[in-house]
Amino acid sequence: MNLQFRDFDDGDLSAIVSAMGDPQVTRYYGLETTQTDALAIAREQLSWYRALNAEGAGWWQAICLNGQSIGAIGAYDRDEDGDSAELGYWLLPSHWGRGLMRSALSQCLPGVFQQLNLHSLVAYVEPENQMSIKLLTACGFAYEGLLRECTRRGDDYVSLQRFSMLARELER
């Protein structure tokens, strides 16, 4: 797949609006916002991506196909003690089921580890999100266990499965 990765720019706002306004995308995204309007959420996300990149606390890239942004991939919540960060990603639903996110992860992960000088990358996934579980497993992430009702989504508590990859496992 001929995917490209680059820093987000203002031209990506419409793709972010489409994603943040789509319940299929945001269902498991773990979006923390007080905004309810997709445009306001998208602006907030764009600012967050840029701030993380500028501060070195994370690194987010637009996933582009034929010059158009179709998703995002990145790391955030960098932990200095463990040289670890949390993985995040989303893809517009019109591109689901074509192996694009798997390709994006395999192409982008070395850059994430290098850019943030990471020892490990972790991903937290709701057990119902079977597509992400299959994706992470296929890309070499190890399942570490279930964190029971460890976070809140609205008025409910949800459990999260933890997956991780060590820098040395990239070469496999």
Taking the domains of the chain in order of start, what are their residue ranges?
Answer: 3-171
pLDDT of residue 172: 61
CATH number belonging to domain 3-171:
3.40.630.30
pLDDT above 90 covers what percent of the chain? 77
Q: pLDDT of 152-167, one tens digit each?
A: 888 899 999 999 999 9
Distance of CA 20 to the CA centre of its chain: 13
Mean pLDDT, 10 residues at a time, the chain of 172 residues = 90 93 84 79 92 92 95 94 94 95 95 95 96 96 97 90 96 64
Predicted model pTM: 0.92
pLDDT value for 35: 72
H helices of the chain, in order, are: 13-20, 23-26, 38-55, 100-116, 130-138
Q: What is the pLDDT of residue 1?
A: 62
